[in-house]
């Protein structure tokens, strides 16, 4: 909104991405702290040195199950964040199946297995593909994740609820000062879908479900206080990246309660009617 909202350009003016054709692939972004460009013949002087990457505890390929699990979770975190963000998502081909360039972030000159796609997938690569498909399907089915107008953070409709509210783990709304705290690693994004400021292809007002997206970039589990809902409504967890497939138990929570979110994980909860449960 800071970039495009002031000149009447909407969210679709923003192309959002994690990786592009230049730089690390998504797999390498969570597997290498340093580029590995020796094969390019320039003594690794080519390519960007600032990749904002983290190897999750080991450089390059590893057989450590804890490092491997964290890397897969980080991939799910990145993809889920991208696909619930307003704007146009761009996914680099191969990121959805964990493609690697073996740490090479400038592989333009490599017509070999550094640059080729490997079509022999293990269970982890299939799981990442299925998770990506799940997130794309969620985005396609719910216009609240792809609005044509920016959120304003103001009350809409008769409910008095804001179109978006940013919450601390204790359930209270964040203040402007709290956005400046560098140690903050966890927050919630509460999206109200009942009054979207746009119409469908028939000219009818759009309505969607309401969602709560929880982000925990801290290394420890954080217990989030869920916003209270009216009687007859509850929270259902649709996505939790701490699970290998992103699919948590579909158990419906009470209208209010707490949600323990594992460290370095993301969860997406949906408001649903519990009258027929």
Beta bridge partners of 271: 235
The DSSP H or E segment spanning 188 is strand 186-191
Whole-angstrom Cα distance, residue 117 to residue 80?
23
Tell me if 239 sits within 8 A of 134, measured CB to CB: yes
Whole-angstrom Cα distance, residue 197 to residue 263?
35
Tell me if 176 sits within 8 A of 153, measured CB to CB: no
CATH superfamily placement of domain 149-273? Golgi alpha-mannosidase II (2.60.40.1180)
Q: Is 78 left (phi over 0), alpha (psi -120 to 50) or beta?
A: alpha
Whole-angstrom Cα distance, residue 3 to residue 58?
37
What torsion, rounded to 10 degrees, do the Cα atoms 26, 31, 34, 40 define? -70
76 three-state secondary structure: helix
Per-residue pLDDT of the chain (277 residues), as tens digits, is 666 767 778 899 999 999 999 999 999 999 999 999 999 999 999 999 999 999 999 999 999 999 999 999 999 999 999 999 999 999 999 999 999 999 999 999 999 999 999 999 999 999 999 999 999 999 999 999 999 899 989 998 788 899 999 999 999 999 989 988 887 899 999 999 988 878 777 888 889 999 999 999 999 999 999 999 988 899 999 999 999 889 887 676 666 789 999 999 999 999 998 876 5
Question: What does the domain layout of the chain look like in residue ranges?
Answer: 5-141, 149-273
Whole-angstrom Cα distance, residue 104 to residue 193?
42
Whole-angstrom Cα distance, residue 103 to residue 187?
32
Tell me if 21 sits within 8 A of 159, measured CB to CB: no
């Amino acid at each position: 909104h800071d970039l495009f909202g002031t000149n009447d350009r909407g969210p679709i003016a923003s192309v959002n991405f994690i990786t592009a054709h230049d730089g690390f692939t998504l797999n390498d972004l969570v597997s290498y702290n340093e580029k590995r460009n020796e094969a390019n013949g320039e003594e690794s002087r080519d390519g960007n040195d600032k990749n904002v990457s983290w190897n999750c505890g080991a450089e390059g390929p590893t057989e450590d199950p804890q490092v491997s699990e964290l890397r897969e979770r980080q991939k799910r975190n990145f993809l889920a964040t991208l696909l619930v963000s307003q704007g146009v998502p761009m996914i680099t081909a191969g990121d959805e199946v964990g493609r690697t360039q073996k740490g090479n972030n400038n592989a333009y000159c490599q017509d070999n297995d550094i640059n080729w796609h490997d079509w022999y997938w293990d269970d982890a690569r299939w799981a990442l593909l299925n998770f990506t498909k799940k997130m794309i399907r969620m985005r396609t089915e719910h216009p609240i994740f792809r609005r044509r107008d920016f959120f304003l953070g103001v009350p809409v409709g008769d409910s008095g609820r804001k179109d978006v509210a940013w919450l601390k783990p204790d359930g209270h709304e964040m203040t402007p000062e709290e956005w400046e705290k560098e140690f903050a690693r966890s927050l919630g994004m509460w999206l109200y879908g009942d009054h979207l400021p746009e119409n469908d292809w028939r000219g009818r007002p759009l309505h969607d479900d309401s969602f709560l997206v929880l982000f925990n970039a801290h290394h420890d589990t954080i217990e989030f206080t869920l916003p209270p809902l009216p009687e007859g409504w509850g929270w259902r967890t649709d996505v939790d990246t701490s699970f290998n497939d992103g699919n948590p138990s579909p158990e419906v929570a009470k209208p209010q309660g707490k949600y323990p979110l594992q460290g370095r994980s993301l969860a997406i909860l949906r408001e649903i009617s519990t009258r027929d449960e």
